[in-house]
Amino acid sequence: MSEIRAATGSPMLDLLAGFIQELRDAGLPVSLTENLDAMEAVKHIPLEDREAFKYALGATLVKNHSHWRAFETVFEVYFSLRGSEYDISGEAGGDESGEDREAELGAGTGQGERSGAGGGEAMTPEELAEMLYQALMRGDEAMMRAVARQAVQRYAGMEPGRPVGGTYYLYRTLRNLDLDGVLDRLMTRAHRDAPEELTPLEARLEEDEFQSRIDELKREIEAEIRRRLVADRGVEAMAKTLRKPLPEDVDFMHASRDEMKMLRHAIYPLTRKLAVRLARKRRHGRKGPLDFRNTMRHSLSYGGVPAEPKFRYPRPSKPEIMVVADISGSVAAFARFTLHLVYAISSQFSKVRSFVFIDGLDEVTPFFEGTEDIAEAVHRVNTEADVVWVDGHSDYGHALEVFWQRFEKDVNAKTTILILGDARNNYHASQSWIVKEMRHKARHVFWLNPEPRSYWDTGDSIVGEYGVHCDGVFECRNLRQLESFVENLA
């Protein structure tokens, strides 16, 4: 509170300016107009309506839905409930929660919090467990918030000034709550209480309901931890700690579980957009550039007047694509996304064939044929392909050798070969002559590397050795880069 007032001029506008700066630092493209719109918008919103306040800022500042998560995080940090009851050091006024909290910006949604929680007195673990069970069974939101507060207080073990991220505290809290166990208990009870035996469908619906309450509780716990961290470290430091790359910029090689999930969700709309764009391009670009010679040749029959302009063929016939992908450990995700994208636009190519390797190599084209579910096919690639030859460490040399032995006969001037991988060859022989021969026979050979360029040719990476024989080597660390490569391919 006091720190909001302390600033000069309008405290609200100062806070907002910091907030917008943080959005920009997080990578959101906020223009000046939008900045002004946001300032204008909040004038029309009663300050105590925190939800409306959030949507007003969202509508003026976030024009791309995939940025919403980043926005929400920053919003939570800047405009979260604040007050002495969030002091990590504990004692300071844990129980006089009421007024302080109500006094805070946006406290409107925080009412009723105290029901059942009984202020700050610690509960025994058994009491807490029982309250958790009751809260989830009834789906009582106020009670869940109270449980979240108690749980964080008791289990997170937060200490002032400790440089530990929120996930660490979240993990500690959740581990102690044993939510899986609680879910089992809830389900057992649901089965017992049902007048007739629950059908599988009914059981599934019950479980999904409980699961959604549990997710809600987790969000509440996260929020509680964040509020306390903000109280401890201050808004700006906290925002910086929480800053995350936008989905399109998430590094394939270092994506966390959560980010992976986000990427998997991002890929569907992305492929759809790409497909629509390419289809349009094909329709519009039907006419190629003017074919001068041909036009002149025809003009002879009009007495030299170029009456009938002739155009070159818009583009050479559709290429045939061969994808050769390393699917070992850290580059597996990259291979999956690339295969997904390439197959999603496979109608742009006359044919797509795919091969995956670690130290052995296997053709996986059949997995993709006759199925509309690319994700499923990619999944099968990971579980069913026979790619281990000796020890399951990448051996590009051997994999390429096998590829060339078996499939050289299928490579011709219509073929574009994409090789995917970090070219970390574990110091095996490179056999780079194969890539040279490939380029000789194929229309194009491209190498896509998911590592940052600055890592290339360091350690056991020998991408340069292969690269000299390719038509191009591209850095594809994230969806943004991958999408742009694939689009240019078609």
Partner 1 sequence: MVQGEPDPGRELDGRHRFDRPARGDGTLALMDFRFDSVEGVREGLAKVDYLADEGIAGVVYLADRLQKPVLVEGPAGTGKTQLAKSVAEMSGARLIRLQCYEGLDESKALYEWNYKKQLLRIQAERGEDQGWDEIEDNIFSDDFLLTRPLLEAIRAEDPVVLLVDEVDRVEVETEALLLEILSDYQVSIPEMGTIGAEQIPLVFLTSNNTRELSEALKRRCLYLHVDYPDLDREKAIVLAKVPDISDSLADQVARIVRSIRQLELKKSPSVSETLDWARTLVLLGVEKVDAEMAGQTVNILLKYQSDIAKAVKEFSSEGQAFKRGGPFSTDE
Considering only residues 289 through 308, tell me which ones interact with partner 1, judged by CB under 8 A.
Answer: none
Please report whether residue 47 would count as binding partner 1 according to CB under 8 A.
Answer: yes
377 and 368 in contact (C-beta within 8 Å)? yes
**Tokens standing for 156?**
């997170």
Q: Which of 383, 409, 454, 459 binds partner 1 (CB under 8 A)?
A: 383
What is the rounded CA–CA span in Å between residue 232 and residue 230? 5
Residue type, 284: H
Q: Binding partner 1 by CB under 8 A: which of 6, 8, 43, 391?
A: 43
CA-wise closest residue to 274 among 332, 377, 348? 348
DSSP 24-67: HHTT----HHHHHHHHHHHHTS-TT-HHHHHHHHHHHH--SGGG
Q: Pick from 3, 24, 55, 453: which binds partner 1 (CB under 8 A)? A: 55
CA separation for the pair 438, 404 (Å, rounded): 8
- Report how far residue 132's alpha carbon sits from residue 256's, in angstroms, rounded to the nearest whole number: 29
What would the two tokens of residue 338 be? 């690339």
Pairwise CA distance, residues 69 & 73, whole Å: 6
Which residue, 211 or 241, has its beta carbon nearer to partner 1? 211
What's the rounded Cα separation, in Å, for the pair 482 and 334?
9
Does residue 59 bind partner 1 (CB under 8 A)? Answer: yes
Tokens representing 322 are: 């061969």
- Beta-bridge mates of residue 447: 419, 473
Structure tokens at 407: 């499939």
> Which lies closer to partner 1 via its Cβ, residue 49 or residue 291?
49
Q: Which stretch binds partner 1 (CB under 8 A): 266-274, 297-305, 394-402, 481-489?
A: 266-274
Told to check if 272 binds partner 1 by CB under 8 A, we report yes
Question: Quick one: which of 3, 31, 219, 301 contacts partner 1 (CB under 8 A)?
Answer: 31
Residue 52 or 164: which CB sits closer to partner 1?
Answer: 52
Could you tell me the smallest distance in angstroms from the CB atom of residue 374 to partner 1?
Answer: 9
Q: How many residues does the chain have?
A: 490
Q: Tell me whether residue 167 or residue 405 sits nearer to partner 1 (CB atom).
A: 167
171 binding partner 1? (CB under 8 A): no
Stretch that binds partner 1, among 271-279, 317-325, 354-362, 386-394 (CB under 8 A): 271-279
What is the x/- site pattern for partner 1, positions 340-379, by CB under 8 A? -------------------------------xxx-xx-xx
From residue 93 to residue 132, the character string flagging contacts with partner 1 as x (rule: CB under 8 A) and all else as - is ----------xxx---------------------------
Query: Which lies closer to partner 1 via its Cβ, residue 206 or residue 465?
Result: 206
How many CA within 13 A on the CB side of residue 428?
Answer: 21
d(CA 379, CA 385): 10
209 lies in the site for partner 1, by CB under 8 A: yes
Q: Which pair of tokens denotes residue 63? A: 């024009």
Q: Is 65 a binder of partner 1 (CB under 8 A)?
A: yes
Site for partner 1 in 418-477 (CB under 8 A): none
Q: Per CB under 8 A, does 278 bind partner 1?
A: no
Which helix (H) or strand (E) segment holds residue 353: the answer is strand 351-357
Nearest-approach distance from CB 390 to partner 1, in angstroms = 23
Supply the angle between the helices 141-151 and 166-177 in degrees, to the nearest 10.
110
Left (φ > 0), alpha (ψ -120 to 50) or beta: where does 385 sit?
A: beta
- Site membership for partner 1, residue 235 (CB under 8 A): no
Q: What is the CA radius of gyration of the chain?
A: 29
Nearer to partner 1 by Cβ, of 11 and 360: the residue is 11
58 in contact with partner 1 (CB under 8 A): yes
**160 vs 369: CA distance, rounded Å:** 57
Residues that bind partner 1 (CB under 8 A): 1, 4-5, 10-13, 29, 31, 33-34, 37, 40-41, 43-45, 47-49, 51-52, 55-56, 58-60, 62-63, 65, 68, 103-105, 199-201, 203-205, 208-209, 211-212, 257, 260, 264, 268-269, 272-273, 276-277, 280, 332, 336, 371-373, 375-376, 378-379, 382-383
